[in-house]
Amino acid sequence: MHVFSLRRSTLQPRLFQQACRLASGSTRRIIARNKRLAAEQPPRPVRSPNEPRDEEEEAIRWFEKDMETGVTRRVEGNPEELEAQELRQKIAALERELKEYRNEESDEDMLAALEPADRAKVEKALKERNKHEADLTSGLTVSLDMPPLTVPLLKKFNQALREAAIAPAMITRRKELWRWYGRAKYSIPALSSMIPKKAWRLLWDLQSVDSPTNPDRLDHMEQLLRDMAVIDLNIMPDQPLVLIDTLLALGKVDQAIISWQQAYDSTSDPSESLLRLGVRLFSENGRLEKAQTILMQLFELFPEHDPRIILPILTADLRAGKDEMAFGCYVLMSQKLGDKMNMEDYDVVSLTFLEHNKKDYALAVFRDMMLRGPNKQISEEFLGVTGQNEAYEKVFERMQRLTESARDAGEVNAISLKSLSALPTPWHNKFFYGSWLKKLIGMRQLEAATKVVELMYERGIEPDPKHINGLIGGFFRSAVPELQERGEQMAWKMIQQRLLLKYNERRARRGESTEVVPSVRETEEGVEIPAHVARPVPTATIETFNVLALHYGIKEKWALIHHLDRMRRPAEYKMDTAFLNHILNMVFNTYHDDSRLWQRFLSEAKHVSPDIETYNILWTAQLEHLNPRLSRNKDRKGYPTPRQLFGLMTSWLQHYDLRKQALLIKEFTPEVYAKIISSFCLNKDFAGCLVALHGIARTYKEFPDPDIARIIMTGVANMAEAQPTTIRGRRGRQQLPASAARLKNTSKVMATLAQKRAEAALERGVDITALDVEARKEESLNLLSEFLRLVLVRVHEDAEVAESSIRQAAQAMQCPDIGTGDKDCSNV
């Protein structure tokens, strides 16, 4: 005897039918109906030959095997998906069947088929279920005392109410409820007055659910609110305000204004929420007089209301061009807030003025903020007790906002002076002047920036080295000889200060007396001393050395960079990455000795981390090292091969964590890419070139462009030449083929290969010309990969030997597991 639980009988009606087969006289009717439902199931869809196939189906082919005969045949479509579709259809049919038979008669049939002990448990469960559903659906039924034509609609609506109350989370129940509510309301004009309050609450709760499955939420909410307003029914506090908010969200501003006015006229004692909404509603729509009238009434009836309600009117005044009235709104808000006005309030007002390009008013708000504390000091209650440094940063950020939209140096200076005049005297420090300097240098107003430095000296504030370094860099970038000379003098004076400081420290450690260099102002009278020389300057930092070395590198004054390196040692500054690059550039351009360059790199790399620019210099030297016309009389063993250099570059990058790698990868440029590929082509190492293409694509996300393809085809065309001719072009030395005919033939092979790949892709249903950008990049990489494989097969006369050479190159270049593209090149 099978034992059936209530859950199993509910979820599996066919098991229920088996249990009732001997106990009920209606069994034959149930079986006949099941056969009819099974016959109505649609057959498995058959794909037409011309119907386009899904991309997944193109990638996966499905087969089935007869376990008795062992015969295997291909099937169309995913069998699991087809089976799932059949199961969904069966589940839907069973749910319809269960819905049809779920009544008292079916319950009696099921109970009659059970044993007495099981029957008692099921009866108890059924009673509890029926009681729970009765509690949920009580008070929802709409009266059926209506004309005969409308009774079916009311029955459907009542049924939808009951089902939605039992399962409110079901999307289909929510949609069915709204559908039958709309039909019943259309056919029965008096429906709104017949619906119980509990039913209204259920309708509102379901239709106001904020969910992607409820896209018409706002429209349904508006309709329900209007229907409830007709019968003067309130199911929530401030229900008229909810209607106005809903109309505003729908963009129905005029209707929202009419609804607000109706709510306002319907009462002699308007609520605080209604008045607050009115201020926002009318100010956002340009009716300023009306908004101000409501605002005065709001403060009259509710004096303790938050004064920040004035902000919408302030913004509306600025939009209307009434700047003075907007500033008056700010004054009124600050008066009403008093000590409760905080930094965020000042920020909101100041940014509002700045957004409408009212810098003078924003500056006035900033001055009020700075004068807030007692005795013109910033009080701890205002800025917080987290320390002066954080207070500096907060005010510093606000000063930056004031100068961000300045159009010229005069406006920057005016705003900065006014801002600084509002600061307390102890706050006149280099941080605020530094922001001013940064703005002027970015605008290339170097004379104005120099005057700011002079102002700092006059105020007794010594500039920070980074500020002077920035000014010196601006002088060098100006391309004005007088300013560049001034920058050099300032930089060397800073270096002199550093050398003197360290010299005195060393003498003090030895117990010797320190030396004092006489001030420039103590020199002979009558000589006019420039201000940038007469002023004391801060001591140099390593950034000062880098700025000066960059300037000398651009001017190709290599001897002065060498002198800077000598001065760095007594200044007791360790070499950083930027200065290392300047030194390597100096060594390469001074001696043109790649062995000497490599040895200097190895000695310094023990203490300094290189970057992409460092390897750019090394690859530039690699090109010169491999060029037979330039390195004919040199020892070719003193510099690493392209494979070794690429392997070193790969292991260097993998040494860092992912965040650092992401920063370094951004510095990789097409210039470095071209130098790497050119080096492999000059070395006639096409297996290494193939690995480098894929290594760069996977590591640096750079894919070959037409320039890279041209370099590779030129290298292949020059394979037979011992000493290919070279010229100096815009992008450095470029190879020229000794025979234009070989380059032409190489181009034909590349074109033929591209055409065959396009035809093969078209047979798979892929149009290469219609691919997206990323797919096209991959296609260009695979095209070059197949072309290089074809070259290697022709060179080694064996495909296996060619693949072995590629694997050896990948191992030597620290990329043993990298994929190297398509291999189908034997038929070209």
Instruction: Transcribe 176-240 into DSSP letters.
Output: HHHHHHHHHHHH-TTHHHHS-HHHHHHHHHHHT--STT-TTHHHHHHHHHHHHHHTT--SSTTHH
Residue 454 shares a structural domain with residue 491: no
Tell me the pLDDT band of 390, cut-offs 50, 70 and 90.
low
Which secondary-structure segment (H or E) carries 728?
Answer: strand 726-729
∠ Cα 70 74 80 (to 5°): 100
Mean pLDDT within 511-527: 54
Q: What average pLDDT does range 613-623 have in this prediction?
A: 94
Per-residue pLDDT averaged across 80-89, rounded?
A: 77
Report the distance separating Cα 153 and Cα 146, nearest Å: 10
685 and 544 co-located in one domain: no
Q: What is the pLDDT of residue 563?
A: 93
Please say whether the beta carbons of 690 and 820 come within 8 A: yes
Question: In this predicted model, what pLDDT tens digit does every residue of 715-748 receive, in sequence order?
Answer: 898 887 655 555 554 454 555 555 677 888 888 8
In this predicted structure, the answer to whether residue 349 has a pLDDT above a threshold of 60 is: yes
pLDDT at 389 exceeding the cut of 70:
no
What confidence tier does 10 reach under pLDDT thresholds 50, 70, 90? very low
Asked if residue 365 belongs to a domain, the reply is yes
When divided into structural domains, the chain yields a total of: 4
Examine residue 699 and state whether it is found in any structural domain, yes or no.
yes
Question: Are 22 and 131 within one domain?
Answer: yes
Residue 610 belongs to some domain of the structure: no
CB 738 within 8 A of CB 721: yes
Whether residue 507 sits in one domain with residue 442:
no
Q: By CB neighbour count within 10 A (0-12 exposed, 13-18 middle, 19+ buried), where does 174 fall?
A: buried
Query: Of the candidates 116, 137, 158, which is a domain's last residue?
Result: 137
**Residue 469 neighbours by CB under 8 Å, 6+ apart:** 541, 543, 544, 547
| pLDDT over 70 at 762, yes or no | yes
| Coil, helix or strand at residue 731 | coil
Q: What is the pLDDT of residue 417?
A: 52
521 falls within a domain: no
Rounded Cα distance between 292 and 310, Å, is: 9
In angstroms, how far is CA 358 from the centroid of its own chain? 32
Tell whether 384 and 484 lie within a shared domain.
Answer: no
Contacts of 801 (CB under 8 A, 6+ apart): none
Tell me if 260 sits within 8 A of 278, measured CB to CB.
yes
As a residue count, the chain comes to 828
Question: Do 469 and 458 lie in a common domain?
Answer: no
636-692: per-residue pLDDT in tens? Answer: 578 999 999 999 999 999 888 889 999 999 999 999 999 999 999 999 999 999 999
For residue 446, is it within any domain? yes
Q: Tokens representing 70?
A: 């062992």
Does 546 share its domain with 666?
A: no
Angle CA(17)–CA(21)–CA(24) in degrees, nearest 5?
105
Tell whether 458 and 473 lie within a shared domain: no
Whether residue 169 has pLDDT greater than 90: no
Contacts of 262 (CB under 8 A, 6+ apart): 240
Q: Do 374 and 449 reside in the same domain of the chain?
A: yes
pLDDT at 472 over 70: yes
Residue in this structure with the two tokens 């070259």, named with its chain if needed: 791
Burial category of 201 from C-beta neighbours within 10 Å (exposed 0-12, middle 13-18, buried 19 and up): middle
Minimum mean pLDDT among 80-89, 343-352, 519-528, 658-667: which range?
A: 519-528
Kindly report each contact of residues 611-615 with a partner whose C-beta sits within 8 Å and lies 24 or more positions away, as own/partner: 611/577, 611/581, 611/664, 611/667, 612/664, 612/667, 612/668, 612/669, 612/672, 613/581, 613/667, 614/577, 614/580, 614/581, 614/584, 615/645, 615/649, 615/652, 615/672
Confidence band of 222 (pLDDT split at 50, 70, 90): confident
Are 503 and 428 in the same domain? no
pTM for the model stands at 0.55
Which amino acid belongs to residue 346? Y
Separation between Cα atoms, residue 469 and residue 489, nearest integer Å: 12
Q: What angle do CA 334, 339, 345 make, to 5 degrees?
A: 50
> Helix or strand or coil: residue 732?
strand
Q: Rounded mean pLDDT of 611-626?
A: 93
What is the secondary structure of 279-321 as a DSSP string?
A: HHHHHHTT-HHHHHHHHHHHHHH-TTS-GGGGHHHHHHHHHTT
Buried/exposed 433-444: b ≥16 CB within 10 Å, e otherwise: bbbbbbbbbebe
DSSP result, 144-179: --S-GGGHHHHHHHHHHHHHHHH-TT-HHHHHHHHH
Higher confidence at residue 807 or residue 110?
A: 807
What's the pLDDT score for residue 23? Answer: 43
Looking at residue 393, its pLDDT comes to 57
**Which DSSP string corresponds to 226-246?**
HHHHHTT--SSTTHHHHHHHH
Percent of the chain with pLDDT over 70: 69
Write phi, then psi, for 63 (nearest 5 degrees).
Answer: -135, 155
Q: Which tokens belong to 726? A: 């070279």
What pLDDT, on the 0 to 100 scale, is given for residue 599? 92
| Mean pLDDT, the chain, whole residue set | 76
The average pLDDT across 8-26 equals 43
Task: Say if residue 503 is in the same domain as residue 365.
Answer: no
Q: What is the pLDDT of residues 249-265, one digit of tens each?
A: 888 888 888 888 888 88
pLDDT at 67: 73
For residue 722, what are the contacts with CB-CB under 8 A and spacing of at least 6? Answer: 628
Give residue 324's pLDDT. Answer: 83
Which one-letter amino acid corresponds to residue 608? V
Structural domain span for residue 786: 641-812
Return the DSSP state at 385.
S
473 falls within a domain: yes
Which of 97, 118, 137 corresponds to the end of one domain?
137
- Does residue 27 form part of some domain? yes
Residues 359 and 476 in one domain: no
Q: Quick check: helix, strand or coil at residue 65?
A: strand
For 89, residues 6+ apart whose C-beta sits below 8 A from its C-beta are 41, 42
User: 619 or 15: which carries more pLDDT confidence?
Assistant: 619
**Cα(594)–Cα(587) distance, rounded to whole angstroms?**
9
pLDDT one-digit tens code per residue, 558-587: 999 999 999 999 999 999 999 999 999 999
Alpha helices by DSSP H, listed for 524-637, are 531-534, 542-554, 558-568, 577-591, 594-605, 612-626
pLDDT tens track for 263-311:
888 778 888 888 888 888 888 888 888 888 888 888 888 888 888 888 8
Q: Do the domain assignments include residue 772?
A: yes
* 553-558, Cβ contacts within 8 angstroms, sequence gap of 24 or more: 553/582, 553/585, 553/586, 554/476, 556/589, 558/586, 558/589, 558/590
Q: Which of 57-66, 290-299, 731-740, 760-769 has the lowest mean pLDDT?
A: 731-740
Contact 582, 561 (CB under 8 A): yes
Q: Calculate ∠ Cα 382-385-390, nearest 5°.
A: 85
Tokens of 255: 């209707």
**Angstrom distance (rounded) from CA 94 to CA 100:** 10
